[in-house]
Chain A
Amino acid sequence: MFSWIVWRELILAWRRRADVLSTVFFFVIVVSLFPLGIGPEAQLLRSIAPGVVWVAALLASMLSLGRLFANDYQDGTLEQLLLTPQPLYLVVLAKTLAHWLIAEIPLVLIAPLLGIQFDLSQDTLRLLFVTLLLGTPVLSLIGSVGAALTVGLRNSGVLISILVLPLYIPVLIFGAGGVEASIMGTSPQSHIYLLAAITVLSLTFAPWAAAAALRISLE
């Protein structure tokens, strides 16, 4: 059941490639806007790069979260999923995993390329990749809670952002902070460990909260 849901999500996303790709393009454009707004001085760009890439990743994730439950809600599939004998926790976890594969992994893969725009070193680019890889699951997991709470509401897009962005702040701090630490020469290890801890914590609790929120939203 779990793998079936993941596979189904992947197929559906493949059929609507444009949605997925547009989020990626948004990410690329936003990251590219910052040097244009701030100026081409390499030293300055290098110092803002981790923050910019991470914030852009957060914003791009926000855009894709609306799709997590909305399409299934509209055609009634979501109600059917709630009625299955399988635990809702696993259903939500499966959808979140699929969301991570579809919406976040492309960002993680492209981020090092964008890092080149900011004149980052090889090591920094590698670290950027690793922190994003570790941190993006949290974006999907906590995002799923926000998406579940706002299923079927009028202005759910903006509302998800308001609800979830404050909760993303620890991830942002440790993710971007880790990359900055390595740029400044200190060890990013503690940041990475804490990021991993947050990931594990959200992996355990977020699907449960999202499942509860789905039941509330669908009554």
Chain B
Amino acid sequence: MNLYKYASPVNFYPLAGKMIPWFAIPAALLFVIGLYVGFFVAPTDAQQGDAYRIMFIHVPAAWMGMLLYVLMAIYAGVGWAFNARLSSMMASSIATTGAMFTFISLVTGSFWGKPTWGTWWVWDARMTSTLILLFLYIGFLSLQASIDDPRRADRAGAVLALVGVINVPIIYFSVQWWNTLHQGATIRILNKPTIAPKMLAAMLIMLAACWLYSVAVVLVRLRCTIVEREQNAARFAEAGT
């Protein structure tokens, strides 16, 4: 079976179309199941009461934000190195979803911080690094939006995403350093290892739901990008829609 034909945007377009329902429907189901388990099955936490239930959207969103950035950088890098248009289009499609999840994790993090730590915003290592990650996403999106030529936009975005992905561990480390030096006495972070199995189950289900949702949304955006950029391709007619 010749898989390489799918490297062409025009050929991938119908395949993506067929894939989307296989991710969108399970995503919706898992969201419902995850929220059910999170709210009805998982017990109330001893320390935080019911406020901890924000975790079921906050943690998956934070992980997706970070994961999608790395994926975006990989796709962009591959697209640049192998001159593969589809790979670069994938990177551009991922960016918005990644930024959205990072934003959700910041907002839900603030809402979680207020009852547990007393303030809406606290400069702990994770919140600060997530904020910087959002800035990196915005930089990538702004750069691509400012360049008219699509191939130049793809390659410039690749350089930026790769420089960014190398910086993310450096930034995280330096922010953690900065934070431990300036640590206020009142900040306590939820101890992950002692999490109850039902809470963990809900969180993992929500993570899977977010992941499937991301794939579906990114594929839809990718199809739109393909249409917008490959309008001249006569083969569009043959490949079907």
Contact = CB atoms under 8 A, between A and B. Distances in A.
Interface stretch (A102-110, A124-132, A211-219): A211-219
Interface residues of B, number: 27
Interface in A143-190: 145, 149-150, 153-156, 159, 162-163, 165-167, 169-170, 173-174, 177, 181
B160 interface: yes
A145 B142 contact: no
B186 interface: no
A205 B163 CA distance: 9
A166 B136 contact: yes
Given A166-B135, A213-B159, A216-B156, A149 B174 contact: no
Given A145-B163, A177-B178, A170 B143 contact: no
B146 interface: yes
Interface in A192-219: 194, 198, 205, 209, 212-213, 216-217, 219
Given A145-B159, A217-B152, A166 B174 contact: no
B181 A177 contact: yes
Interface stretch (B50-58, B164-172, B231-239): B164-172
Interface string B126-149: 000000100110110011001100
B140 to A, nearest CB: 8
Nearest to A206: B163
B143 A150 contact: yes
Given A181-B181, A216-B155, A219-B152, A149 B160 contact: yes
A189 to B, nearest CB: 13
Contacts of A159: 142-143, 146
A138 B215 CA distance: 37
A145 to B, nearest CB: 6
A173 B177 contact: yes
Interface-centre pick from A174, A213, A216 (highest chain B CB count, 10 A): A216
A177 B174 CA distance: 10
Contacts of B164: 166-167
Given A166-B139, A167-B167, A149 B159 contact: yes
A151 B132 CA distance: 24
B175 interface: yes
B138 A162 contact: yes
Contacts of A170: 167, 170-171, 173-174
Contacts of A194: 174, 177
Nearest to A181: B181
B147 A153 contact: yes
Interface-centre pick from B139, B142, B181 (highest chain A CB count, 10 A): B139
Contacts of B163: 145, 167, 209
Contact of A162 (B142, B166, B167, B177): B142
A149 B181 contact: no
B171 to A, nearest CB: 6
A174 B173 CA distance: 11
Interface-centre pick from B136, B159, B173, B181 (highest chain A CB count, 10 A): B159
Contacts of B147: 153
A169 B167 CA distance: 10
A166 B165 CA distance: 12
A107 B175 CA distance: 25
B171 A169 contact: yes
Contacts of A153: 146-147
A205 B58 CA distance: 35
Nearest to B157: A149
B143 A216 contact: no
B185 to A, nearest CB: 16
Contacts of B173: 170
A177 B178 CA distance: 7
B160 A212 contact: no
9 contacts: A149-B160, A166-B136, A167-B164, A169-B132, A170-B173, A177-B181, A209-B163, A212-B159, A213-B156
Interface of A: 145, 149-150, 153-156, 159, 162-163, 165-167, 169-170, 173-174, 177, 181, 194, 198, 205, 209, 212-213, 216-217, 219
Given A153-B147, A163-B139, 9 more contacts: A149-B156, A149-B159, A159-B142, A159-B146, A162-B139, A166-B135, A167-B167, A177-B181, A194-B177
